[in-house]
Structure 1
Amino acid sequence: MVRIPLTGPERRRGELLGAALRQARGTRSMAEVATAAGISAETLRKIETGRIATPAFFTVSALAGALGLSLDELAARCAEQERWSSGARLAG
């Protein structure tokens, strides 16, 4: 199966999701959060670093639940990451 390459905006959304999840994880270990979400720590690492830019909906939902967030709260955190990173890019 051939995967269609991701667009720039799709990659960017994946990076923002990863940053929001990393921030929400705080001091909890990847293994702890991944186990609670029912995924591998390696999968969580790839999501947090943007290597999996478009994780499945059920994976995002499970991660949000493991972190005690609603999907709305997670979306708001992604938007916050976008505002923060846009400001950093403009300032730099």
Structure 2
Amino acid sequence: MVRLPLTPEEIARGERLGAILRRARGARTILDVAAAAEVSPETLRKIESGRVATPSFPTIAAIADALGLSLDEIWIEISAAASRARAS
């Protein structure tokens, strides 16, 4: 399967998601959160850095649960940031 290049919007959305997760992780280590979410630390690191701009839904759901975030909170914050970016 050939994967199409990401659009600038997808890249920006991935960066916003990473920033949200980093902020929510706070002082917890990547290792602690990754273990709680049952994902590899490298996967979490890549998502937080924006290198994985389109992570799978189950992965994000598991990370959100480990961080005590609702998927609605994440979506609202990503959407608000996108709106602010378009307005500027």
Shorter-chain TM-score tier:
0.7 to 0.9
Tell me the CA shift for residue 16 of structure 1. 0.3
User: Deviating runs (4+, > 3 A) in structure 1?
Assistant: none
Query: Cα RMSD (Å) of the superposition?
Result: 1.6
What SS does the corresponding residue of 1:51 show, helix, strand or coil? coil
Residues 1-92 of structure 1: pairs in structure 2 closer than 5 A: 1-79=1-79, 82=81, 86=85
Tell me the CA shift for residue 78 of structure 1. 2.6
Deviations 1:37-68 (A, max 9, x none): 11011000000010000000000100110001
Deviations 1:1-49 (A, max 9, x none): 3211000000000000000000000000000000111101100000001
- Alpha-carbon distance between aligned partners in 2 of 1:68 and 1:77, rounded to the nearest angstrom: 15
Q: TM-score, normalised by structure 2?
A: 0.87
Length, aligned pairs only: 85
